[in-house]
Structure 1
Amino acid sequence: MNIFYRALLFFQKRGFYVCQRIADRIGIRAKVVRISFMYLTFVTVGFGFALYLFMAFWMHIKDMVYTKRSSVFDL
């Protein structure tokens, strides 16, 4: 199996949902955010991809730190 194909499958199965979460917060479609990241990556020669990875890392850390509790007794 090709290494690029395996990387594609990895990101499809275990995506970070960065674009979806940004779109939900702003109130627009995720497709618009994804296309914006693609254009930003092509125009700035990789800055959009680096920004995407940074945001994925930041959201992962935020999810680990902030957990939503349903009641006071969940402590």
Structure 2
Amino acid sequence: MDKIQGFFEKQAFGVCEWWGEKLNMEIGQIRLSFIYLSFLTFGSPIVIYLVMAFILKHKYWFKRRQPTIWEL
């Protein structure tokens, strides 16, 4: 069971882990809430999860960079 759980945690995009660190919650609770919300709302949190995964994967595009002295 630990091997299966480790495989899925490595394949996940890290969205639940990121939210867990930001909100100081257990990662398992966040994952369960995504699963329950997906069943209750017919899958719309899956789309939100994938958007958040894309943003986390490419967060350097979305961060506002401060201009350096050489760019002024």
Amino acid at match of 2:12: G
Q: What count of residue pairs does the alignment treat as equivalent?
A: 56
Q: Does residue 48 in structure 1 map to residue 45 in structure 2? A: yes
Aligned counterpart, 2:29: 32
**Which consecutive residues of structure 2, in runs of 5 or more, have no partner in the other structure?**
1-6, 64-72
Percent identity, please: 35
Aligned counterpart, 2:57: 60
**Which consecutive residues of structure 1, in runs of 5 or more, have no partner in the other structure?**
1-10, 67-75
Cα deviation, residue 15, structure 1: 2.3
Runs of 4+ more than 6 Å apart: none
After superposition, the C-alpha distances for 1:39-75 in whole angstroms (9 at most, x for unaligned) are: 110001010111110110111111x345xxxxxxxxx
Amino acid at match of 2:36: Y
Cα deviation, residue 14, structure 1: 3.3
SS of the residue aligned with 1:16? coil
Structure number with greater CO (CA < 8 Å, separation at least 6) is 2
Aligned counterpart, 1:18: 15
Amino acid at match of 1:27: N
